[in-house]
Structure 1
Amino acid sequence: MAQKNFSSRKAGYQNHSHTQGKVGTGGGRTPRDRARRELSQNFLVDPYAIGLIVKAADPVGAVLEPGAGEGALTWALAKCGARVIAYEIDPLLAGRLTARTRENPGIRVVRGDFTKVKAPREPFAVVGNIPFSITARIVDWCLTAPALTSATLLTQLEYARKRSGDYGRWSLVTVSTWPWFSWELCGRIDRESFRPVPQVDSGILRIQRRTEPLVRDRKAFTELVELGFSGVGGTVRASLRTRYSGVDAALAAAGIAPDTVVAYVHPDQWIALYEALGMP
């Protein structure tokens, strides 16, 4: 799968965020500092980086934004014509963003936990600089939303690389959802693009729903993949032979060597394996 290699421009920003004022060298912590840490708040302040996210998302129609924060990405999405519903759990930030966007008909701010929101019935996308601490919860929410068309999420770079196969290895969540969703690393955002500056760089992870599923029986495919990842016997061959017949011939048809460790089986090979085993 082709990867896009982007990097954000480093700019000479002062070390501050709008919610905490300038960050000094003192050891004090204000209530806002504590809230920021608890809510994993790192605000995106680099216009170039924001542009990369918007370009990757290509927002059209309804867009849900988890963790809108101070609204830098919110405004950029709305300027592209998207109808943005911006979710922010921090009451202070939600109030400020509501006040600043009240006159913009393309933006609606909702104070609350995005992961507890009921997904819309009409087609929609998710775009957000999401809190690293709840990345898995937000991704799970997106994958289970029937009307979701895509999710473009700014995550820890390591997470984005693992899920997109950028390390040359594949995770269970990516493989098990591959017939229904593609996963792509669309860029890298330097940690200096945020205030406060986090400890790691970020990656733009795009999850795109396929127009047509690549397999018909989700339950059967998921069971096959989960057994392969179970680790029984140490290889995908050993794991699958505990339940399926004709595994050796199916592996050969899918181009998978008998001693292949499960993480190195490409998602497309899993689909070929599924078909070679005669599964519907």
Structure 2
Amino acid sequence: MARPARISRALSQNFLADRATAEHVARLAVPHGRQVPLLLEVGAGKGALTARLAPRCHELHAHEIDPRLVPKLRTRFRATPQVRVIAGDFLDTRPPRTPFAVAGNVPFSRTADIVDWCLRATALTDATLLTQLEYARKRTGDYGSWTLLTVRSWPCHDWRLVGRIDRRRFSPVPRVDAGVVRIERRRTPLLEPAALHDWRKLVELGFSGVGGSLHASLRRAHPRRRVDAAFRAARLDQRVLVGEVPPDHWLRLHQELSS
């Protein structure tokens, strides 16, 4: 009798249990009443979010890893021609070559892998993901600090925290609230493609902690006078912690150190 609960915990399943919340998340995923040509849903679950996303899509691929839920999903949406229920692990899916969006109530334990999949997908336009609130706040700078992943991907992707969902809107109720992260691929990257390799090297060096500070880390690859000048141009104190540097200041550092 306890098997379904054990499976739910193993898959990190917390289903949306509130129609108004599902509608709110669908509006965040497809804003301004638009329709998207192709949307991939991560973790369709019992279909609460699927039902709200379907009218906003020309084609919706609803991915569900739990084999117990797939037949119910297919029965529920058999009269909704734009919905295709796909059984299996979303991470095994090859990203489409044509523009597409992603949305979903992400299993908390698999958030990092799903986000990485989205960032690697060159045809992705945007992703709207329910994650643990802590993850959402860290990735979007909501604490006043920024992570390596966010800064490294910033020239090509914009990160925003667009919502907070009370944990009681899920079943079973998780221990923490959820946040809604929206990641949008920039139509025009902030850097030229040829500069992205040097950007990643600079950011990874800065976050390496080598030398004990951002200023000291960057001095391992650049003369002190150039690092000093870059910090002045970016209006940064030499004692600033690496996580406290916003992405736009990183862009100025890169501009000064690569010129």
Same fold (TM over 0.5): yes
From 188, 191, 196, the equivalent of 1:218 is 196
Query: Is the contact between residue 127 and residue 152 of structure 1 (CA under 8 Å) also seen in structure 2?
Result: yes
In 2, Cα distance between the equivalents of 1:81 and 1:119? 17
Query: Is the contact between residue 161 and residue 185 of structure 1 (CA under 8 Å) also seen in structure 2?
Result: yes
From 226, 230, 236, the equivalent of 2:208 is 230
Equivalences for residues 134-149 of structure 1 within 5 A: 134-149=110-125
SS at match of 1:240: helix
SS at match of 1:153: strand
Query: Is the contact between residue 132 and residue 177 of structure 2 (CA under 8 Å) also seen in structure 1?
Result: yes
* Aligned residue in 1 for 2:77: 101
In 2, Cα distance between the equivalents of 1:77 and 1:114? 17
Query: Is the contact between residue 52 and residue 187 of structure 1 (CA under 8 Å) also seen in structure 2?
Result: no
Query: Is the contact between residue 22 and residue 49 of structure 2 (CA under 8 Å) also seen in structure 1?
Result: yes
In 2, Cα distance between the equivalents of 1:227 and 1:243? 9
From 126, 129, 132, the equivalent of 2:108 is 132
* Aligned residue in 2 for 1:4: none
* Aligned residue in 1 for 2:12: 40
1:112 corresponds to which letter in structure 2? G
- Number of residue-to-residue matches in the alignment: 251
Query: Is the contact between residue 50 and residue 73 of structure 1 (CA under 8 Å) also seen in structure 2?
Result: yes
1:36 corresponds to which letter in structure 2? S
- Alpha-carbon shift at residue 154 of structure 1 (Å): 0.1
Query: Is the contact between residue 190 and residue 202 of structure 1 (CA under 8 Å) also seen in structure 2?
Result: yes
1:81 corresponds to which letter in structure 2? C
Residue 51 in structure 1 maps to residue 23 in structure 2: yes
- Alpha-carbon shift at residue 92 of structure 1 (Å): 1.2
* Aligned residue in 1 for 2:150: 174
* Aligned residue in 1 for 2:38: 62
In 2, Cα distance between the equivalents of 1:164 and 1:114? 24
* Aligned residue in 2 for 1:253: 233
* Aligned residue in 1 for 2:220: 242
In 2, Cα distance between the equivalents of 1:154 and 1:272? 32
Equivalences for residues 81-100 of structure 1 within 5 A: 81-100=57-76
SS at match of 2:258: coil
* Aligned residue in 2 for 1:270: 250
- Alpha-carbon shift at residue 278 of structure 1 (Å): 2.8
2:248 corresponds to which letter in structure 1? D
Higher relative contact order (CA 8 A, sep 6+): 1
- Alpha-carbon shift at residue 80 of structure 1 (Å): 2.2
In 2, Cα distance between the equivalents of 1:206 and 1:278? 30
Query: Is the contact between residue 69 and residue 88 of structure 1 (CA under 8 Å) also seen in structure 2?
Result: yes
- Alpha-carbon shift at residue 39 of structure 1 (Å): 0.7
Q: Deviations for 1:172-210, whole angstroms, at most 9, x for unmatched residues?
A: 000000000000000100000001100000000000000
SS at match of 2:122: coil
1:37 corresponds to which letter in structure 2? R
1:152 corresponds to which letter in structure 2? T
SS at match of 1:277: helix
Equivalences for residues 103-118 of structure 1 within 5 A: 103-118=79-94
In 1, Cα distance between the equivalents of 2:57 and 2:210? 50
In 1, Cα distance between the equivalents of 2:24 and 2:253? 36
SS at match of 2:220: coil
From 197, 209, 228, the equivalent of 2:185 is 209
- Alpha-carbon shift at residue 82 of structure 1 (Å): 4.3
Query: Is the contact between residue 38 and residue 57 of structure 2 (CA under 8 Å) also seen in structure 1?
Result: no
- Compare the two structures and name the one with the higher helix fraction: 2
The alignment yields a C-alpha RMSD, in angstroms, of 1.0
In 2, Cα distance between the equivalents of 1:64 and 1:81? 10
- Alpha-carbon shift at residue 106 of structure 1 (Å): 1.1
Hey, which bits of structure 1, 4+ residues long, moved more than 6 A? none
In 1, Cα distance between the equivalents of 2:148 and 2:105? 24
